[in-house]
Structure 1
């Protein structure tokens, strides 16, 4: 199999997956982009955390993260609190509303993952995960 075939397959998979997620989010009336959701997940994983941490974790630049955080703050999905050790920085965490939004996101993602893996044996899924991690590692 040529690298072009692998690359094209990965490209098609990525776009089909994103399209399915966007459709599931829309059907659940979640007005968030995939970037907003990745940001929320980073906050959930490390809360409380800083914008700098999120930028590093999501591999986005600080300006992009600042815009995403502003949207999430305006929607009362996250909250800022003073950093205990650095007056220039603020800590970010989810509000109760933000936790509820992420619970809905999790439900959508479980549905998409069920569709994605339909008809696949657990061993095939495990092999896919192993190979995709290796490919990511090779490129990083």
Structure 2
């Protein structure tokens, strides 16, 4: 349709969603950035996990990942251990504290998702997911 664009609503949605997440994280007193949380999710979802895996998954450069990992190590949220097959790599894992932090993150995200999808049917959500994935695929 002429004059119709998804850019502005998509931009507004992205920022509104990030605001909702940041608010939920702040209310839970989680002192982590979205980048820290994405890094933790990468560690939780891929075992064994290395810094290189995280850089690839998050599409960040190695220097950015190194800084994020240092923050998480200093906070006692993650631990590193020698890679059994590659002496140049370290395996990253969540500590017990890190697992507790991720439970808080999951709770915050459920709250934001509930707020985001309020008034939507399951069919609406499925259509949104289908269209979103198609748009992402088109851009990749």
Q: TM-score, normalised by structure 2?
A: 0.97
What's the counterpart of residue 10 of structure 1?
10
Distance in 2, Cα, partners of 1:8 & 1:50: 37
For 1:15-54, what aligned pairs fall within 5 Å after superposition? 15-54=15-54
CA displacement at 1:26 relative to structure 2: 0.4
Structure 2: unaligned runs, 5 residues or longer: none
Distance in 2, Cα, partners of 1:129 & 1:117: 12
What's the counterpart of residue 123 of structure 2?
123
What's the counterpart of residue 88 of structure 1?
88
CA displacement at 1:3 relative to structure 2: 7.6
Q: How many residues align?
A: 140
Q: List per-residue Cα deviations over 1:45-94 (Å, max 9, x = no partner).
A: 01331000000011111111000000000000000000111111100000
CA displacement at 1:136 relative to structure 2: 0.2
Query: Hey, which bits of structure 1, 4+ residues long, moved more than 6 A?
Result: none
What's the counterpart of residue 133 of structure 1?
133
Q: TM-score, normalised by structure 1?
A: 0.97
